[in-house]
Structure 1
Amino acid sequence: MKVFIAVLVFSVFISCGQEKKYHDSKNDIKASVVSDKLADILLFQEELNAEFKNPETSPLADRFRADFETLDFFKPDTNYVIVAEFVRTPDALPFSMPTTTERESTEVLYGIAKFTLNGKQQQLEIYQTPELITQEKYKDYLFLPFTDDTNGEETYGGGRYLDLRIPKGNTIILDFNKAYNPYCAYNKKFSCPLVPAINNLNTEIRVGVKAFKY
């Protein structure tokens, strides 16, 4: 009987130990994933700041670029890294998207992203620019303009953009931490596509780049 009790107690300790180790392992994996996402967001911010500092690539007028240090970003939040269902629209035809100038941008509806964010069902249209796909570095480029409830206050009134790449499967990652302002938010000489009304999110997206303060 004593032997049985000892074995039973030992088994309980082993079981509890294994369960604890299992949970630690899951937490470690989750922490690692979050860490990788944060690193990716911070890299995006670093590269965008470098672009704005460089006189060859910056949309800023010289008087603003001279003292430029960093764009104003919301605090990164990995809850806004969304894995969305991606529904392709192969039969869509090119159309003219209005811009901030008289120019019109030719776009094609490439697909629709469907997802849940802040407890609400959302969907956004994602576009491809025929003019760009002839260039090697843009052949898989997709364009996602959107508006949300922060526009005109914390963020640029005309909405923000996300740069995406064509996914291989039927999901697509939308990292709203990488939402950036169109160039015309910094300099009126640029012509920027206007966000279609259908791409409005009825929630606050408090990540990504904030409004530029002159």
Structure 2
Amino acid sequence: AFNHKDFNELRLTTLFVKIGRVWGLTMRRGEIVSILLIAGMLLLVQGMPATTRGEDQKALTPQEQRVMKWRKERDVFFKSHQRSPLLPQDKKPFKGLRYYPFDPKYIFSGQIERFVFHISNPKYYATFLTNKGTNKRYLRYGKFRFTLDGRERTMEIYKSILSDILFIPFKDETNEKETYEGGRYIDAEILPDYKMVLDFNMAYHPLDFNMAYHPSCAYNDKFVCVLPPRENMLDVEIRAGEKNFRPFGHQGSKNQVSPVVNRKSGAALLMPISTPASQMIFAVIE
């Protein structure tokens, strides 16, 4: 149950305080809670009265709301989940991950060019090197094209062998400076019926780098993490998504692999989702 001690240690996760429901994270137990504010209540933030959000301030877009929800879910996961990559002694002082400010510049709409091979074709699989020097295999799924800073760029997409999770590992020019040197990831989930997307009146959806995250080995060397392939090494800064969290950061391997792919054109609808395990949905139209 939520009690007065939790309230005193509540960390708000909504960007603006307003009359109505606001969300927060209890630092003592790492739980997401909501509080219903009514007119006449006094809310103190760091001992100072909180101000309400003005009507002239821009409302959060639906995608920004998804990103903020995803971020607070990751904070809860890191703080309290048994599979958190943080060491036990690091969980107590943990106050939250660090991110770049939300930026719509790094949201891209487009199509997936599908890769189609027979299972006997050696190009059916992509083999990645890990930070431990071992190999891990994924299925080659497709390629996503987008334009940033006036140039067309591509990201290759892979699929887990044991599930329908799609996987996009990448590196960019922020690595070793503001983000983990071993790169970052974006996960995705295949949506079997694209009509589920259309039901939400969102017929064409973006790839959102605001939901890029660090692999677990950035926080704990005991984890095994794959290194991004050469095809997903971007020669531009992606100033979106998760940033280095220096008190807990670790160094990773810089070795790379370069899988070769074939492709066949296909179309897809994309919709971001906000869970710790998945950052967006690809609704594939066959």
Q: State the TM bucket, normalised to the shorter chain.
A: 0.7 to 0.9
Residue number among 181, 185, 188 corresponding to 2:218 in the alignment:
185
State yes or no: 1:206 paired with 2:239.
yes
Aligned residue identity for 1:111 = G
3-state DSSP class of the match of 1:166? strand
Aligned residue identity for 1:152 = E
Sequence identity, in percent?
A: 35
Q: Tell me the distance in 2 between the aligned counterparts of 1:208 and 1:196.
A: 20
Aligned residue identity for 2:188 = L
Aligned residue identity for 1:99 = T
Q: Tell me the distance in 1 between the aligned counterparts of 2:85 and 2:207.
A: 25
**Structure with greater helix share of residues:** 1
Aligned residue identity for 2:179 = T
Residue number among 171, 182, 199 corresponding to 1:158 in the alignment:
182
Aligned to 2:168: 144
Residues paired across the two proteins, number: 176
Aligned to 2:271: none
Aligned to 2:113: 87
Residue number among 34, 43, 50 corresponding to 2:69 in the alignment:
43
- Structure with larger Rg: 1
3-state DSSP class of the match of 1:74? coil
Q: Tell me the distance in 1 between the aligned counterparts of 2:152 and 2:166.
A: 22
Aligned to 1:106: 137
How do residues 56-71 of structure 1 correspond to structure 2 at under 5 angstroms? 56-71=82-97
Aligned to 1:196: 229
Aligned to 2:206: 173
Q: TM-score, normalised by structure 1?
A: 0.76
Q: Tell me the distance in 1 between the aligned counterparts of 2:81 and 2:185.
A: 22
Q: Tell me the distance in 2 between the aligned counterparts of 1:187 and 1:212.
A: 12
Maintained 8 Å contact 1:99/1:191: yes
Q: TM-score, normalised by structure 2?
A: 0.58
**Structure with greater strand share of residues:** 2
Q: Tell me the distance in 1 between the aligned counterparts of 2:63 and 2:112.
A: 21
Aligned residue identity for 1:113 = F
> Which runs of 5 or more residues in structure 1 are unaligned?
1-30, 134-138
Q: Tell me the distance in 1 between the aligned counterparts of 2:206 and 2:223.
A: 28
Query: How far has the Cα of 1:172 moved from its partner?
Result: 6.2
Aligned residue identity for 1:67 = P
Residues 117-154 of structure 1: CA deviation (Å, up to 9, x unaligned): 122210010000112x2xxxxx2x10000011111001
Query: How far has the Cα of 1:64 moved from its partner?
Result: 1.4
Q: Tell me the distance in 2 between the aligned counterparts of 1:37 and 1:68.
A: 26
3-state DSSP class of the match of 2:111? strand
Aligned residue identity for 2:75 = N
Residues 43-74 of structure 1: CA deviation (Å, up to 9, x unaligned): 11111111101141310111211110110111
Query: How far has the Cα of 1:165 moved from its partner?
Result: 2.1
